[in-house]
Structure 1
Amino acid sequence: MRRYLVMAMRRPTFDEGVVAPHLAFLDELRASGHLEMTGGFSDKTGGAYVLVNVDSLEQARAIAARDPLATQGTSDLTVYEWNTR
């Protein structure tokens, strides 16, 4: 199974108001079978989530681009195809 790691790093202008819409977005991904796991970094600089059941890196990037963290410009999101064992 292909997995895609989405790294979200907070910008200095991060707005806490985006957290609730981001969590709702993650809930939608989980309900659709595309989210395997998610979590924030203990130092509060950002977090990551793992997408599954996605056809390509391009599709994973398109999904991440819909994340409120990205659409509201509060975080930088980077997507990687992640080879796990």
Structure 2
Amino acid sequence: MNRYLVLAMRLPRFDSEQIGPHRDFLDALREQGRLELAGGFSDKSGGAYVLRAVDLEEARALAFGDPLHITGSSRVDVYEWLT
């Protein structure tokens, strides 16, 4: 499996009600062995997490299932992380 960096940046229409579902989403990924690291930025502009996936397509499919993305609260971008 490869590593992918997911950036979730808050949009003007950010809905703080989605923080709980987002954390639940990350917990589920962690239980599946897909999440290596996650955290928010100190300036409250968003956060990032590192996924493990077979390829970029799978990583995007996982990340785009994030409630922050689904509700339009945050812009979610996925980058392959070469280590």
**TM-score range with shorter-chain normalisation?**
over 0.9
In the comparison of the two structures, how many residue pairs are matched? 83
Deviations 1:2-31 (A, max 9, x none): 210000000011111000000000000000
Which residue is 2:56 aligned to?
57
What is the identity, as a one-letter code, of the residue corresponding to 1:32? Q
Gaps of 5+ in 1: none
Which residue is 1:46 aligned to?
46
TM-score w.r.t. the length of structure 1 is: 0.95
Shift >2 Å, 4+ stretches: none
**Alignment partners' CA distance in 2, 1:39 and 1:83:** 20
Matching of residue 2 in structure 1 with residue 18 in structure 2:
no
TM-score w.r.t. the length of structure 2 is: 0.97
From the two aligned structures, give the one with the greater strand fraction.
2
**Alignment partners' CA distance in 2, 1:7 and 1:82:** 12
